[in-house]
Amino acid sequence: MLFRSSILVGIGRGAKEGVLIRDADVLQRMSQVTVLLIDKTGTLTEGKPAVNTVIPLKEHSRETLLQLAASIEIHSEHPLAVAICRKAQEQGLELLPSSDFQSMSGKGVLGVVNSQSIALGNQALLSELQIDPEEISNQTLLLRQEGQTVVYLCIDKTVCGLFGISDPIRPQAQEAIRDLYREKMDVILATGDHSATAYRVANALNISKMEAELLPEGKNKKIQDLQFHSVCRVFPVFSRDVTGHSSHARFLVLRALKYDLNSISFSFLCHVVCVFAVMLACYFIKPF
């Protein structure tokens, strides 16, 4: 009875912090967590990316690039795709008919607009399509050093433009990371973004361990490797393509982790003492 009551207190405390706990066993297992793998977009950042920079190449205009990109990205639910479509809408650009849409998980999207093959994505997508972006490496490096995620736009296998997309770091993230370190938690930033962009976020939050340019399957492998080669318990806080959590829920989990051992355990103790006191009172106090 005492154990069940304590679990209820823990679940109630989690709900107060914005975390819904559906399995009471999670509270017990959470106390054993020693390593936390954290995604970047929507977890440490606000999950509301915006297009900051559009760099046209090959004599294309910014409007043309944005129109082509949005005409393909309208079929995607990825946060970066939403940012591109929002930018096109803000500029009043009309979307063009598109076909043969294909999503490449962790890399980008493909499609056809005006009989032109369009590819939008990161460097991993370009590598798969055997497109060499070396001639614009200086421009991409500058964007990444500013903390922007670079999205390449290719027309018929030629890089014709760059999009620089930024996502602000959550105001609460630094405090959450600091408290996790205080609880002796080992924090690792694991992201699919380029190492330069990831480093800027990690450096801003004082995260010393980082794994960048990981595909979804790479993140899963990282978790499995840590679990296999160590005695630690690993807790992943990743994006929907790995765990199914929404962006908001992921940060709530991150924020609430710091209450695991101190606040929740203290609530357990207080509740156990109160219940025990009531039981003693019922036993010793006899009715007249």
Please tell me the number of Cα atoms within 13 Å of 64 on its side-chain side: 12
- Phi, psi of 208, deg, nearest 5: -85, -20
Q: Where are the alpha helices (DSSP H) in 41-113?
A: 62-73, 79-90
Q: Where are the alpha helices (DSSP H) in 113-215?
A: 123-128, 137-145, 173-182, 195-204
Taking the CA atoms of residue 35, residue 39, residue 40 and residue 44 in that order, the dihedral angle to the nearest 10 degrees is -60
Q: Which of 25, 39, 179, 186 is catalytic?
A: 39
Contacts of 269 (CB under 8 A, 6+ apart): none
Give dist(CA 238, CA 244) in Å, integer: 8
Please tell me the number of Cα atoms within 13 Å of 219 on its side-chain side: 27
Yes or no: say if 42 and 251 are a contact pair by the CB < 8 Å rule.
yes
Closest CA to 114 of 51, 78, 64: 64
- For this structure, is 39 an active site residue? yes
Q: Chain-centre distance of CA 38, in angstroms?
A: 7
Q: In terms of C-beta distances under 8 Å and separation of at least 24 residues, what long-range contacts does 263-270 make, across chains too? A: 263/13, 264/9, 264/10, 264/13, 264/14, 264/27, 265/31, 267/9, 267/10, 267/13, 268/6, 268/9, 268/10
Give the residues across from 33 on adjacent strands: 233
| Residue with tokens 């606040």, as numbered in its chain | 263
**Residues labelled catalytic:** 39
